[in-house]
Amino acid sequence: MKCSACGKFMAAVEGVTCPKCDRKSHRACVKVPEGVQVQPTWLCPDCKIRTPRKSDQNTPVRGLNSENIIKQGEEKPQSPVVQGFKESELALEIRKFREELRETREEFRSFRQEMFDLRNSIKSCEERLDTLENKYIRLEEQQTLIESKNVCGKIQDLETIIADLRADLNDRDQELLYNDIEVAGIPEEGAENVLHIVTACATKLGVTIEERDIVSCVRVGPMRDEQSRLAKPRPIVVRLARRHTRDTLLRAARVRPP
């Protein structure tokens, strides 16, 4: 709803209504104080101007030269009160507009500062993320390097251990070979007792050996048929517990006449 006097928007409870034209106006625009009840005979300024005055025969008629007569084509001068009121309202509106413009500028300035702070915060977060990413990459590289070094070190250690074990096995095999003797030319039978044969051969050589002196004794080589076995029996390999026993047997075999 607009005021019929100043044209501004207003609420229904803020103004007064002319009973003749039903137009609403601010109380200040029509000079009605706040809290004063409007009489039914009250009219707005426009209706008052358009309402003809009652004729009074006792009122003297003014001449044509009266200063109150308005020439044709001339506008009726406004009341000083109305003109002053419009100027004050315009000044008030300009002042309010300037205040709103100032507040808007302050809001834009605050918004610009917030955007600047937000941009700085985002930039700082990006820098921190880049730093963390670089640290993570370095840690991964260090971890990979450490793992590769550990793996290489473990591989080298295992290779060293394997080489030592092989050397120990070779040395042990060589040492065990020093306790081995080979007995050849003894006829081979199907159900023979190789241990008894070895002890009997030692007795023939004049050396007494017991079962505890023998680690193992077996015939070596592939199995043969009966004719081949009789023609060329497989040799017997004996592993003795002590090297001294082996040397004694070899010495006795050398000195025994054929």
- Name the residue ranges covered by the structural domains of the chain: 1-51, 85-150, 179-255
pLDDT band at 113 (very low <50, low <70, confident <90, very high): very high
Residue 116 confidence (pLDDT): 92
Say if residue 82's pLDDT is above 60: no
Share of the chain above pLDDT 70, in %: 81
What is the pLDDT of the chain when averaged over all its residues?
80
Count CB neighbours of 240 within 10 A.
23
Say if residues 68 and 62 touch (Cβ distance below 8 Å).
yes
Q: What's the pLDDT tens digit per position in 127-182?
A: 999 999 999 999 998 888 888 888 888 888 899 999 999 988 888 777 767 888 88
**Degrees, nearest 5: CA angle 114-115-117:** 65
Selected residue with higher pLDDT from 114 and 257 = 114
Residue 253 confidence (pLDDT): 86
Helices (H), 80-183: 80-177
Residue 132 confidence (pLDDT): 92
CATH assignment, 179-255: 3.30.70
Say if residue 102's pLDDT is above 80: yes
Taking residues 4-18, report their average pLDDT: 75
pLDDT band at 86 (very low <50, low <70, confident <90, very high): low
Which of 1-15, 75-89, 190-204 comes out lowest in average pLDDT? 75-89
Say if residues 43 and 16 touch (Cβ distance below 8 Å).
no
| CATH superfamily to which 1-51 belongs | Zinc/RING finger domain, C3HC4 (zinc finger) (3.30.40.10)
Q: What's the pLDDT tens digit per position in 42-70?
A: 788 878 777 766 555 555 544 444 444 44
Residue 58 confidence (pLDDT): 52
The closest of 151, 249, 133 to 201, measured between CA atoms, is 249
Residue 145 confidence (pLDDT): 85
Residue 257 confidence (pLDDT): 61
Residue 38 confidence (pLDDT): 73
d(CA 42, CA 247): 155
Q: Which of 6-10, 21-25, 74-78, 251-255 is most confident?
A: 251-255
Taking residues 24-42, report their average pLDDT: 77
d(CA 101, CA 118): 25
Say if residue 83's pLDDT is above 60: no
